[in-house]
């Protein structure tokens, strides 16, 4: 697969490490959320046949974490964003 890196352009997916569902970005705050909430966040995920937002790491590249929107049936990639930008938009900070 080719991942169109927002900074570096098209790069071979062989250079990346796959983590999984981008919903992992919504990590609860450990000081306020309990075990239940953490458990749900860590273990319960959808497994769609179709569009899937997922986290990829450009390990053999610029070490950016990316949010890649990929169709799990066709492998078509419709969007690639820097995970840091996405996280900030979600309100994540420090």
Binding site for another protein (CB under 8 A): 1-2, 7-9, 12-15, 17, 19, 24-25, 27-31, 33-35, 38-39, 42, 55, 57, 59-65, 74-77, 82-84, 87-88, 92-94
Shortest CB 14 distance to another protein, Å: 8
For residue 15, give both structure tokens. Answer: 């250079």
The 3-state secondary structure of 35-75 reads HHHHHHHHHCCCCCCCEEEEEEECCCCCCCEEEEEEECCCC
Shortest CB 68 distance to another protein, Å: 12
């Amino acid at each position: 697969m080719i991942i169109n890196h927002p900074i570096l352009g098209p790069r071979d997916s062989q250079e990346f490490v796959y983590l999984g569902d981008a919903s992992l970005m919504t990590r609860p705050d450990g000081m306020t959320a309990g075990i239940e909430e953490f458990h749900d966040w860590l273990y319960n995920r959808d497994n769609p046949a179709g569009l899937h937002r997922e986290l990829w790491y450009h390990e053999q590249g610029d070490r950016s974490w990316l949010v890649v929107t990929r169709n799990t049936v066709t492998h078509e990639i419709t969007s690639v964003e820097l995970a840091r930008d996405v996280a900030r938009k979600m309100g994540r900070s420090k």
